[in-house]
Amino acid sequence: MRRGIPSRASRPTSLYPRNPSTGCSGAGNRNWPNRIASRRGAPFSNTPQTRMARLPSRQYNDSVSASKSPSSTGTDVIVVGGGPAGLAAGIHLSRAGYRTLLVEKGQFGGQAGRIDWIENYPGFPAGIKGADLMALWLAQARRWGLKCLRAQVSGLVRQSSFFRIILPNGRRLRCRAVLCCAGAEFKRLGLSGEDGFLGRYVHHAAFDEAPRFRNKVVAVVGAGEAALHQALLLAKFARRVHLLSRGPTIKAHRLLKSRMTRRPNLIHSPNMTVEKIDGHRRLERIVVRDRVSGLHKSLDVSGLFVLIGKQKSTFPSGKAKGPGYFVAGDASGDICRQVVVAAGSGVQAAMECIRYLEGWSNPHENS
């Protein structure tokens, strides 16, 4: 045996190392990338990107907002919205050499940054946490020079061949093109008292809130994959999870449905609508109605997760739409709401934006 080369008996029989806890190799072992990289002399854990990725979402958001506010002078493109579509567009535009500013009112990475585990994004056989994936994107974007600003956009005005983004403090940002990636907002039930409990006892896709409801009873309203995914995560912590759907069935793929059958504490109640939310200072119960029999029933719950669909976020575009104004991601109204779809949409819009900028001319340049 040559020096430094392991014998055939000690070599792994599979590309993916065996998980000692499960006895299985492959995607069941979430630590396989670190082991593979370590064998090759380049541990994943020692790279700047993964050190950034391990930071909690709040930490890397604060690191961006604490930086010096980018100047609006000489900006080519302003991307509004820092979700998957906005970050992907920002990466593409910055790498192409255009001075790009990304404006986000909340968390960089958007709703994707709060997803507990993403299993269907290419390149990660074992899956990846949403916050880690978005942190990698943000690190890549900043490497190519993307400037980020934490701010709410209150207005957009077209002035000749330029745009001006208006911020609540009165500041105006000038650019040659605007890419709207404002995303989509979760629909609400529209019940009395819902707003008072929102963010404390009533949530939408708040995957990071699941551990709060350990050994408690919660309810999830919805019939799609997002609702079932949230219910499955809650079932790992809660004593009982009521999954309430308006229709008779859950509209999700087979993998998620098979996982539902393995969770005895996850109870699906079809043909149900929530009629009332009740509680004093905290959520105590909800009243549901059976749409078939018409009977009402009270459920004592500590938390309610509402996932009944999305609608495009309101964006004050006014009369600014036209040449130089582009839309991508969930803001475009696409019903295929996946991280990979939003990323592709953002890159496609960025490519269209580049074609516009290449043919752009300033009418006041020679005046």
How buried is residue 157: exposed, middle or buried, by Cβ count under 10 Å (0-12/13-18/19+)?
middle
Angle, to 10 degrees, between the axis of helix 130-143 and the axis of helix 84-95?
A: 20
Query: CA 143, 145, 151, 153: dihedral to nearest 10 degrees?
Result: -130
SS3 332: helix
pLDDT value at residue 147: 95
CATH 3.90.79.10, domain 52-186+320-358, yes or no: no
pLDDT value at residue 34: 40
Tell me how far apart the alpha carbons of residues 119 and 57 are, in angstroms, rounded to a whole number: 19
pLDDT value at residue 362: 56
Q: What residue type is 226 in one-letter code? A: A
Q: Do 52-186+320-358 and 194-308 show the same overall fold?
A: yes
pLDDT value at residue 297: 94
Answer yes or no: are the C-beta atoms of 300 and 217 closer than 8 Å. Answer: yes
Per-domain residue ranges of the chain: 52-186+320-358, 194-308
* Six token digits for residue 356: 């516009």
CATH 3.40.1160.10, domain 194-308, yes or no: no
Tell me how far apart the alpha carbons of residues 330 and 341 are, in angstroms, rounded to a whole number: 9
Answer yes or no: are the C-beta atoms of 283 and 271 closer than 8 Å. Answer: no
Question: Along the chain (367 residues), what's the average pLDDT of each consecutive run of 10 residues?
Answer: 44 39 40 37 40 42 41 80 96 96 91 88 93 95 94 88 89 93 88 88 83 94 92 94 95 91 95 93 94 95 92 74 89 82 95 91 48
